[in-house]
Structure 1
Amino acid sequence: MSENHTSFLPNVLVNSLPKSGTHLLLQIILGIPGMEITPAWVIEDKDLDMIKPGSVGPAHLVYSSERALLLKHKNLKVIFISRDLRDVVVSLVHFIMLNKWGNHLWTPYLTSLKTHEERLLTMIKGVSLSNEQYEEFGITEIPNIRQFAQDKLGWCKELGICSISFEELVIDEESQQKAIMKIIEFLWDDLKLLRISKMELLQKIRGNIKPESSGTFRKGKIGDWKEEFNEIHKEAFKEIAGDILIQLGYEKDNDW
């Protein structure tokens, strides 16, 4: 499709909590005819200028009301994806330990821990390192899971953006179809100029979903934490971020 035919397409920001299905959401947006990914990730506000009509930029941008206004001013269509923070913990630990590039800031410290259980607990509770440890590992701290997530979860409540959960996209076919239709409806003012029906577009998008083609894909499973958390992990998580699970609708109370 030529540039002339993509000028009407939306400029989309795929923003996410890390390890929440960023690449899956990108595959959905790139299943729209004519859409292309930006040449690099959006790290700072100035990088938002990379997102032109017909392109999608991935990001892990922190929420602020000022940034939300900036995105509206730039007429960006923002889709935010989040996930059960317990599964984020599990996915983060595996990602860092299996990181084929070996360049994650936390890899040296997590590798120094003797067991997988210790690594999970560190990712839940966080850790502050001494000056001596800084010399060895090159970091001053690892945030706890609340600190890691809370500054991005404000997007879930922001009006005018499309908020999706990882679970909606993978729990079953019906849920996935409903979530994709939600995205199509959100972008439809631009997409209707493609002159294809919403159902045709849905099929094109679903045909582009290939999780295993992502370099960061491991399992893409819901509830992995149930197999990996022990009672110590559960109690630590409840203390630090149990209320967030309730706010996001993953639990009714702390009795899990």
Structure 2
Amino acid sequence: MLRRHWWTARRFGLSPGKLVRRLSRSGLPKVLCVSLPKAGTHLVERAVCLHPRLHRRILPTLNPENVGPEGLGGVLRKLRAGQVVLAHLPFEAEYPELLHRERVKALFVVRDPRDIAVSLAHYIAGRRDHPLHSLYRERPDDRARLQLAVIGDPDARPPAPALESILSSFAGWLESEALVVRYENLIGERGGGNAGMQSGTISAIYSYLGLEGSPAFVSEVGARLFSGESPTFRKGLIGQWRQEFDPELEGLFDRSAGSWMAVYGYR
């Protein structure tokens, strides 16, 4: 519990060390972290906000329902140097120019879509406050819920989106100037990844944002990334789809969303 309170204070810039550093913002980036749902939003948040010069603005993760009447532009205009905003926002054609005008650096977080489907199915079924919770709980078992995560249900109220539609709506971020961050490259050994790849990814993030990060500091951040302190953390392991997809589900996924695997760099 104390560790979670510590992380909450640190990520929002309320720890003693960060409060002092917030007095000097010169040269610091403004950061937008966009991610596919269940692609590792809070993993990247940790990588960014463990840096002593950055903190998250006190806002929920933005989505089309809560971004506000002024849209993303209204949020970014109020963003200050050294602040970070998280978002699940599908790509819009005007976003690159908006980011350029407001001098905001964007990260786009992606993950193997099959693991996204697994994570979505478990997450929605376990969150009573999620709009689709009842729809998922009505399904007889985990396999049926995973099938729902893949193909959706347009007749449900509210409709459950197919994974294909989610991948399609976010794909424009891949062609923007955002730095693409792969979950598998960032998770590290405790999540089934690679320590060297993790360090390289953290270093690439800091370099893109114009921040310093010595090899020793990057190693320290990597050691603290894999954490259950996120409110949406479940297992965090890569390749979980192999344990939950049977051949029939693999075929269903390939027919429904398989064409997006190559687009996102997973085939």
Pairwise same-fold verdict (TM > 0.5): yes
| 2:49 aligned residue | 30
Does the Cα contact within 8 Å between 1:184 and 1:198 map onto a contact in 2?
Answer: no
Does the Cα contact within 8 Å between 1:29 and 1:205 map onto a contact in 2?
Answer: no
For 1:124, the aligned partner's letter is: V
Does the Cα contact within 8 Å between 1:38 and 1:50 map onto a contact in 2?
Answer: no
Structure 1 residues 114 and 30: alpha-carbon distance in aligned structure 2, compared to 1, 3 A threshold:
same
Q: Alpha-carbon deviations, 1:161-212, whole Å to 9, x = none? A: 2111101112110110111111121012xx25xxxx5325424533542421
Q: Alpha-carbon deviations, 1:75-120, whole Å to 9, x = none? A: 1010110111100000001111122xx2111101111111111111
| 1:217 aligned residue | 233
State the Cα RMSD in Å: 1.7
Superposed, 1:121-136 pairs within 5 Å as: 121-129=147-155, 134=157
| 2:7 aligned residue | none
Does the Cα contact within 8 Å between 2:110 and 2:264 map onto a contact in 1?
Answer: no
| 2:23 aligned residue | 4
| 1:181 aligned residue | 203
| 2:182 aligned residue | 165
Paired with 1:5 and 1:199, the residues of 2 have a C-alpha distance of 24
- Does residue 104 of structure 1 match 2:130? yes
**Unpaired segments of 5 or more residues in structure 1?**
252-256
Paired with 2:263 and 2:22, the residues of 1 have a C-alpha distance of 43
Q: Structure 1 runs of 4+ off > 3 angstroms?
A: none
Deviation at 1:10, TM superposition (A): 1.0
| 2:76 aligned residue | 48
Q: Alpha-carbon deviations, 1:112-164, whole Å to 9, x = none? A: 111111111111111122xxx64xxxx1x111111022111221221x32111
* Higher relative contact order, structure no. (Cα contacts within 8 Å, ≥ 6 residues apart): 1
| 1:144 aligned residue | 162
| 1:93 aligned residue | 121
For 1:20, the aligned partner's letter is: A
| 2:12 aligned residue | none
Classify the secondary structure of the residue corresponding to 1:156: helix
Does the Cα contact within 8 Å between 1:15 and 1:78 map onto a contact in 2?
Answer: yes
Classify the secondary structure of the residue corresponding to 1:117: helix
Paired with 1:149 and 1:230, the residues of 2 have a C-alpha distance of 22
Superposed, 1:191-202 pairs within 5 Å as: 191-192=211-212, 198-202=214-218
**Unpaired segments of 5 or more residues in structure 2?**
1-19, 188-192
For normalisation by structure 2, the TM-score amounts to 0.82
Paired with 2:21 and 2:180, the residues of 1 have a C-alpha distance of 30
Deviation at 1:50, TM superposition (A): 4.1
Paired with 2:93 and 2:229, the residues of 1 have a C-alpha distance of 35
Does the Cα contact within 8 Å between 1:126 and 1:143 map onto a contact in 2?
Answer: yes
Tell which deviates more after alignment, 34-43 or 205-214: 205-214
Greater helix share, structure number? 1
Aligned length: 234
| 1:254 aligned residue | none
